[in-house]
Structure 1
Amino acid sequence: NAGLLAAVLDKRIRLIDYELLKRPSGRRIIGFGRWAGLVGAFSGIRACGLRSGTFDLPKAIDCRDLQEMLTHAKGVKLPANFKIVLTGHGRVGRGAREVLDHMKIRSVHPDDFLRMEFPEPVFTHLDVADYNERIDGGDFDMQAFIDDPLEFRSTFSRYTAAADLFIAGHFWAEGSPFLFTREDMRSPDWKVKVVADISCDIDGPVACTLRPSTIESPLYGYHPGTEQECMFSHPEGIAVMAVDNLPCELPRDASDGFGRELMDHVIPLLVEGDAEGILDAATETTFEGKLNEPYAYLSDYVAAARRA
């Protein structure tokens, strides 16, 4: 990558990093998050069938497109009172919810999810305030949580005592409370049997995510007693899906969706003007063959590549 960056500078190419294209509010303009959510939720449902032996879905990558994947998902019949907890309200979380909605799984309030039984499968879609609380007992405030997450603790164990499947689509920032720990997973109240960790933060807020998995081999197990990896079908283990390149399983649709976002939200900035400086903030190299100011720290990196 260092050599490539040096070549970009030598050829005076303007390099814009799409991951850094953000509105003034900080919200990213384009990305593959929706597709990660779609495939991740489907893969979590698939893992439930494989672990229980009750149904067998194809991998998303073996489906021709999103429509075929959703058709397979819609054919799944989950048991009564099967409970799914979903975190995240960004692109990933919304994408995951699309799958659950397409399957006609009913959404219920978090309080009802915890205290009621249902004659059908249900899911609850949690916001940050639903599974974090102030240590001092005060009211939850989102800005305070962002500013000083160490003043908060997780209450997510309430949901792991009720849910069968956890779909992790949240963004986790360094210093924020872990959703659950390895000790939490040894609790006799623990119920979750499958974790679809779309966020895939290794050895972090989702304690059973020991490593990324792959499209070829998407599942592994975590044994709470030994804290080691096991077969995903182990009766005492939790099946983990932690593929970290999920959009690649629907390459046609993901590429088309990304291209549409690019045309709708980025090309107009190039053609009509960029009054908010969105492109400049995401520009790493300039037409003058220089690093843009926010990325000047890469100069030593480039110099080392040129000396090599």
Structure 2
Amino acid sequence: MKIGLVREWKQPADKRVALTPELCVEFKKRFPDTELVVEASPERTYLAKEYEAVGIPTVKDVNDCDILIGIKEVPIDKLIPNKTYLFFSHTIKAQPYNRDLLQAILEKNISLIDYEPLTWKKGNRILGFGKWAGVVGAYNAFLTWGKKTGKFDLPSAYETNDYEESMALLKELDLKKTRVVFTGNGRVAEGIREVLELMKIKEVSPQEFISQPPNGAYFTQLTSWDLYHRKDGGEWDAKHYYEHHDQYCSEFDNFLPYTDILINGMYWQEDMPVLFEKKDTKSDRFAIQVIADITCDVEGSVPITMEATDIFHPTFGWSKSQQKQVEAYGEDTIDVMAVTNLPTEMPKNASTEFGTLMLDHILPLLIDGDKDGILKRARLTDGGKLTDEFSYLQDFVEGK
């Protein structure tokens, strides 16, 4: 068996990789009979010479590989027929912008294993970059706050490309009485919390945040239980909430007068209540000055997220008076950071964590056998057809 780590082609350039050079050394120890090569890339965070130094060849042609492993979607013209691929395809929710990609995968008889549905038996995801989206999103929140207030100037996370250095910079900040709210309770929230705790910002309960704020900077975390209540006045029930989003309304307006920075890491669907309405931003009660929208649903849970941004142009403004998108850092703007590929700002750290999970839990299944059906549950296509698990995408593929 021969495995190839493919080049990332999407732009802006994604510098992540599924296995770092150090992890490739461990791969060779664990799987000495499996060949591993790396497709040459001018933009990967690890250079060709770093792979070659540990005995992993970099090649221009991966046609002779059996399994091809990437991170983001592979462009249609780069897909090699009759291969097994692993990457985030962004098709399992019938995303219309990737219908052509899924059609091409089927036409080329590709067996696609998507990272997103790779789960343990209880449904917990095995792989993902959510934590690193949270880490970088939180860093960018304070970067934006520094620019907004003129109190400090942080370098972009991709300029340091180092978690420890970035966190050291944050620890030095004097935030005075800055008030921070973050939403969510998944891997993204885990990353946000890690940053806030490393900065030694005091945590308070949602109730204390509003009624009994402490001295100095402080933060609170809002989960679905904190953010929404039933319209009929019934008791909160998580199962009921996830099955009946339309029967709930947002309570986030209670936090609008008391928040300087909102870091949004919540899961959101179109039938869920938004955090606030655009018109709410006109009000003097709306105190939020910076929003780091890690969720990044355009006009979604944060209605003034008017577009997704990139790491080189991360922030735009929302004019409270004009009620429209404008340049960032104006006199009456709420400044919104809505970068879609946040983990690629710390590609070495993100790749190391992702690759470790890949090496420990996924590669053994590819090489030694999928006895628990983990790969089977995540295989979208096989033999030119959708698998049974993803047959619900047939109408999507056919454009119905």
Normalising to structure 2: TM-score of the pair?
A: 0.70
Query: Residue in 2 aligned with 1:223?
Result: 319
1:237 is aligned with what amino acid? T
Preserved contact between residue 2 and residue 302 of structure 1 (Cα < 8 Å): no
Are positions 1:104 and 2:200 aligned together?
A: yes
SS at match of 1:49: helix
Unpaired runs of 5+ residues, structure 2, are 1-74, 83-105
SS at match of 1:173: coil
**1:117 deviation in Å?**
2.8
State how many pairs are aligned.
Answer: 302
SS at match of 2:305: coil
Structure possessing the higher relative contact order (Cα contacts under 8 Å, 6 or more residues apart): 1
2:375 is aligned with what amino acid? L
Query: Residue in 1 aligned with 2:222?
Result: 126
Preserved contact between residue 270 and residue 300 of structure 2 (Cα < 8 Å): no
Query: Residue in 2 aligned with 1:156?
Result: 252
Preserved contact between residue 161 and residue 345 of structure 2 (Cα < 8 Å): no
Hey, what's the Cα distance between the residues in 2 that align with 1:260 and 1:109?
A: 35
**1:173 deviation in Å?**
1.9
1:20 is aligned with what amino acid? P
Name the structure where helix makes up a greater proportion of residues.
Answer: 1
Query: Residue in 2 aligned with 1:26?
Result: 123
Hey, what's the Cα distance between the residues in 1 that align with 2:377 and 2:386?
A: 12
1:151–1:296 distance in 2 versus 1, CA, 3 Å: closer
Residues 177-186 or 106-115, more deviating: 177-186
Residues 266-275 or 161-170, more deviating: 266-275
Query: Residue in 2 aligned with 1:7?
Result: 81
Hey, what's the Cα distance between the residues in 1 that align with 2:233 and 2:299?
A: 28
1:115 is aligned with what amino acid? S
Hey, what's the Cα distance between the residues in 2 that align with 1:250 and 1:64?
A: 5
Match of 1:45 among 126, 142, 146: 142
Query: Residue in 2 aligned with 1:56?
Result: 153
Hey, what's the Cα distance between the residues in 1 that align with 2:77 and 2:205?
A: 52
Identity of aligned residues (%): 38
**1:214 deviation in Å?**
1.4
Hey, what's the Cα distance between the residues in 1 that align with 2:226 and 2:398?
A: 48
Query: Residue in 2 aligned with 1:36?
Result: 133
Deviations 1:106-156 (A, max 9, x none): 111110001123211000011111010111111111111101111100000
Deviations 1:206-228 (A, max 9, x none): 01101011111111110123221
Unpaired runs of 5+ residues, structure 1, are none
Preserved contact between residue 201 and residue 219 of structure 2 (Cα < 8 Å): yes
SS at match of 2:146: helix
1:139–1:301 distance in 2 versus 1, CA, 3 Å: closer
Query: Residue in 2 aligned with 1:184?
Result: 280
**1:24 deviation in Å?**
3.5
1:302–1:196 distance in 2 versus 1, CA, 3 Å: closer
Query: Residue in 2 aligned with 1:143?
Result: 239
Hey, what's the Cα distance between the residues in 1 that align with 2:219 and 2:327?
A: 26
Preserved contact between residue 3 and residue 302 of structure 1 (Cα < 8 Å): no
When the two chains are superposed, the root-mean-square deviation of aligned CA atoms in Å is 2.4
SS at match of 1:48: helix
Match of 1:240 among 333, 336, 345: 336
Hey, what's the Cα distance between the residues in 2 that align with 1:296 and 1:6?
A: 23
Query: Residue in 1 aligned with 2:172?
Result: 75
Match of 1:166 among 243, 258, 262: 262
Preserved contact between residue 181 and residue 205 of structure 1 (Cα < 8 Å): no
1:297–1:147 distance in 2 versus 1, CA, 3 Å: closer
